[in-house]
Amino acid sequence: MLSRHHRSYSKDVESTTTDSMLTLESVSAGCSEGNFVPARKALRDFATRAIHVGQEPDDETGAVAAPIYATSTYVQRELGANKQYEYARVSNPTRNRLERNLASLEGGIASRLFASGMAAINALCTMYKSGDHVVCGRNLYGGVPRLFNNVLAGYGMEFTYVDTSDARNVECAIRTRTRMVYVETPTNPLMELSDLAAISNVCRSSKVDLVVDNTFMSPYFQQPIALGADMVVHSTTKFLNGHSDGLGGAVVCTKPEHAERLGFVQKAAGAILSPFECWLVLRGVKTLAVRMEQHDRNGRLVADFLSHHKKVKKVYYPGLSDHPQHDLAMRQMNGFGAVITFDIGELSNAQSMVKRLRVCSLGESLGGVETLISHPATMTHAAVGENGRREIGITEGMLRISVGIENVEDIIVDLNQALEAI
């Protein structure tokens, strides 16, 4: 871990020469003076489970890597007698392995896999019906309100958006027909946090399901089920996969009835994750623990650099001591992660900066080993509309960076030279 007394280095990065490069020992991310230590005891067997649960050697051949069962159907011994599998939409051995793995990592009883994160969210919403009401965070990935408002509302579901950073807002928004509270924490892209323990108490007293999107933190840095969540959603495309080479989504359940219902939805609607993409995530989660450690280490350093740069107006990162919910982050999370949003004022500034990037790449998505920068106003939250973005605080000069696991000095030098173009 980083030392308690690192200096910040805004003055050290004045050029792109090697003289401006830094070492991990030279700086903290301004995160509580570098004294935040992840809860190692709680995670002591996480890496072992990530590598071994659902990833057991193949019984038939002894293969260490899980096989990819690229089959659409299975031979049956006789009428009504299959060998556990009958049709690939219903179940597949590779998919079953990953479902067991993710359930273990999140602390659930089962997980169900879908073709994308949005397919997973849509699937869990099929557990509710016309007239049911959902309380949602006001600051969600733009595709979620698009699904809720433009698709599901047409079937009679109702949605209310509130600031979930205060559990009292959730409590006030709950109605007689409220069936679910849907929360992202941290939010995309403003990195606002919700107190999951407090919200789960509200949901429990009202007999409402709490669903948490844990994509940004991964189960390595945040355990929503341990804090009272009923279901956890992931875009497996992001940190779980970790290599930007496959789409996927997951819902981790704590109740048998939810797991059973979602299994039925897999069979009935068919938006399942393919065996190959299941295998990609199985491969990815084997290194999740070590990747998240490096993402977090680099993220802290990049956040501190940005927070001291004269061209940056504001940085949104819960690891910084001036983040309004930094104390909650210290309690609720085992790390601060790699996703940072920063504001450089105007759209023209954002355009100028991203054109100069050489190590970092401009693109949607996050959570890969490479550093990606996106522009929320024209990418992830374009569908929200100008008024919607203004209401939740997304500006045209705002950029979101998913810090990769490259050499952090190279990332910082690249960001610095690009910022100097403004």
Residue 311's domain is classified under what CATH number? Answer: 3.90.1150.10
Residue of 69, 128, 141, 316 with catalytic role: 141
Where is the domain boundary, 286, 311, 334?
Answer: 286
Identify whether 134 is part of a domain. yes
Is 13 a member of any domain?
no
pLDDT along the chain (422 residues), means of 10: 33 36 39 42 79 96 96 94 93 98 98 98 98 96 95 98 97 98 97 98 98 98 98 98 98 98 98 98 98 98 98 98 98 97 97 97 97 95 86 94 98 98 90
Domain boundary among 286, 319, 348: 286
Residues 252 and 296 in one domain: no
Residue 155 contacts residue 130 (beta carbons within 8 Å): yes
Is residue 213 located within the same domain as residue 346?
A: no
6 within a domain of the structure (yes/no)? no
Coil, helix or strand for 102? helix
Please indicate, yes or no, if residue 2 is contained in any of the structural domains. Answer: no
**96 shares a domain with 238:** yes
Which is the catalytic residue, given 9, 74, 85, 89? 89
Looking at residue 44, its pLDDT comes to: 67
Examine residue 5 and state whether it is found in any structural domain, yes or no: no
Residues 295 and 204 in one domain: no
**Whether residue 110 is found in the same domain as residue 208:** yes
Q: Give Cα separations from 180 to 132, 138, 229, 256, 420 (angstroms).
A: 9, 15, 11, 17, 46
261 and 214 in a common domain: yes
Residues 6+ apart with CB under 8 A from 273: 95, 98, 113, 114, 115, 236, 248, 249, 281
Domain final residue pick, 241, 257, 286: 286
Give a yes or no: residue 7 inside a domain. no
Residues 251 and 212 in one domain: yes
Write down the pLDDT at residue 404. 98
Give the structural domain span for 61: 46-286
Instruction: For residue 148, give the nearest of 122, 185, 186, 114 by alpha carbon.
Output: 122
Query: Which residue out of 209, 213, 230, 304 is catalytically annotated?
Result: 213
Active site residue 390: no
Are 135 and 207 contained in the same domain?
yes
Q: Into how many domains does the chain fold? A: 2
Catalytic status, residue 255: no
Q: What is the DSSP letter of 382?
A: G
Instruction: Say whether both 52 and 115 belong to one domain.
Output: yes
33 shares its domain with 86: no
Catalytically annotated residue among 95, 97, 112, 238: 238
pLDDT at 408: 98
- For strands 361-362 and 372-374, give the pairing: parallel
Q: Which residues contact 5 (CB under 8 A, 6 or more apart)?
A: 33, 34
Q: Is 381 a domain residue?
A: yes
Shortest CA distance to 235 belongs to which of 66, 370, 121? 121
213 is catalytic: yes
- Which residue, among 98, 176, 78, 80, has the nearest Cα to 135 in the 3D structure? 176
The helix/strand/coil state of 146 is helix
CA distance 104 to 213: 17
In a domain, 76, yes or no: yes
Is 238 annotated as catalytic?
Answer: yes
Q: Is there a single domain that holds both residue 109 and residue 209?
A: yes
Q: Which of 204, 187, 411 has the alpha carbon at shortest distance from 318?
A: 187
State the pLDDT at residue 24: 37
Return the pLDDT at 384.
Answer: 82
CATH number of the domain that residue 136 is part of: 3.40.640.10
Clarify whether residues 400 and 261 are in a common domain.
Answer: no
Q: What is the pLDDT of residue 386?
A: 87
Distances in whole angstroms, Cα of residue 281 to Cα of each of 34, 54, 97, 131 = 32, 12, 10, 36
Rounded to whole angstroms, what are the CA distances from 32 to 5, 42, 220, 360, 376? 10, 21, 20, 27, 28
